[in-house]
A = this chain, B = another copy of it.
Amino acid sequence: MIIKLKQNISHKKLNDFLDWLNEKGFDYHINRSLGGILITLLNYPKAFDEKSIKAWDIVQDIKRVEEPYKYASRSYKREDSIIDVNGIKIGGDNTVIIAGPCSVESKEQIIEIAKKVKKSGANILRGGAYKPRTSPYSFQGKGLDGIELLLLAKKETGLPIVSEIMDASDIDKFEDIDILQVGARNMQNFSLLKALGEQDKPVLLKRGLSSTYEELLLSAEHILARGNPNVILCERGIRTFETATRNTLDITAVPWLKERTHLPIIVDPSHAAGIYNMVRPLSMAAISSGCDGLMIEVHNDPVHALSDGAQSINPERFDSLVDDLFKLKDFLNNENIKFFD
């Protein structure tokens, strides 16, 4: 439920109202940026009586959220959201290329890869410091040391950094990281989403292995409704009966989501297929479906990578691929190809 307050109300009245909401057990977010004060009520029982809210004279209007999501929808915001990350724009007519290794392994590794992918045209560096691993006996990432190595690579190349956060209590450690990634397994970790909604750093939200489009938008809504408008969606393959590939890239997610949301949508062909030589054709397909960018795993020594080597491409392959992707993007722009009609 969204409560629109009247103009020019006193601090006293506002505070009385907020105290009353607290007392009633409501959880809420205040948004002052949209021509007045809007209060989004979260966590309320359907049976709650609206009249007790309307009884407050500072309330101008209340609106139930009838669609499952509101802030994520095109009906709320018609034009594409463009998210600015240190000058790199994501969304709208821009195409972002995020590249880097699955895991940060060493200073030499991450700096060498960062330099190479930058030279090839990547805009943002990816690298895992905290890794969600199915087995407790697998390499779990270098943790804080990994974060520091990523920041060294950032200093060296100027590339903004995206890295996965697994726990709300780690937010401080990501202070200088530019984009916080929520992994597929955490797409419905609502504690984490809530914490990310209460800060304003951009969030890269990956679709869960068996999450529907609508569930992805609702997870974004958990972040947006708490005041952080900077959400980037990511299609990274879903789990199906097909075992020849690691997951099944659901390319239809791109146009379906773009029709319904203003948020940028990128595609991760590396995790989707799990096979390095599928990365090229899937990247081409993704750009042609109208997505806002790609996230590609690049490793200088895929065979010896500590994680996900089979799906990583080497810098040479990446260079040739990016070259073709930019040509494709230019073609689509120059010919003014529409993705919808």
A: residues with CB less than 8 A from B are: 1, 25, 27, 41-47, 65, 68-69, 132-142, 145, 166-169, 185-186, 188-191, 209-210, 212-215, 218-219, 221-222, 225-226, 238-245, 248-252, 254-256, 259, 272-273, 275, 277-278, 280-282, 284-290, 304, 306, 317, 320-321, 324, 327-328, 331, 335, 337-341
Contact = CB atoms under 8 A, between A and B. Distances in A.
28 contacts: A25-B145, A43-B139, A133-B190, A134-B188, A135-B218, A166-B190, A166-B191, A212-B243, A238-B241, A238-B242, A242-B250, A249-B250, A252-B272, A255-B280, A255-B282, A256-B273, A280-B340, A281-B290, A284-B288, A284-B339, A317-B341, A320-B341, A321-B341, A324-B335, A324-B337, A324-B338, A328-B337, A331-B331
Contact of A221 (B46, B136, B226): B136
A45 B213 CA distance: 34
A185 B190 CA distance: 9
A282 B251 contact: yes
Given A249-B251, A284-B339, A137 B278 contact: no
B252 A248 contact: yes
B285 A338 contact: no
Question: Quick one: which of A189, A219, A306 has the most chain B CB within 10 A?
Answer: A189
A275 B191 CA distance: 28
Contacts of A222: 136
Given A25-B145, A240-B241, A278-B252, A139 B339 contact: no
Contacts of A189: 166, 185-186, 189
A210 B186 contact: no
A254 to B, nearest CB: 7
Contacts of A284: 288-290, 337, 339
Contacts of A214: 244
A166 B286 CA distance: 35
Contacts of A252: 245, 248-249, 272-273, 278, 282
Given A167-B191, A285-B286, A339 B280 contact: yes
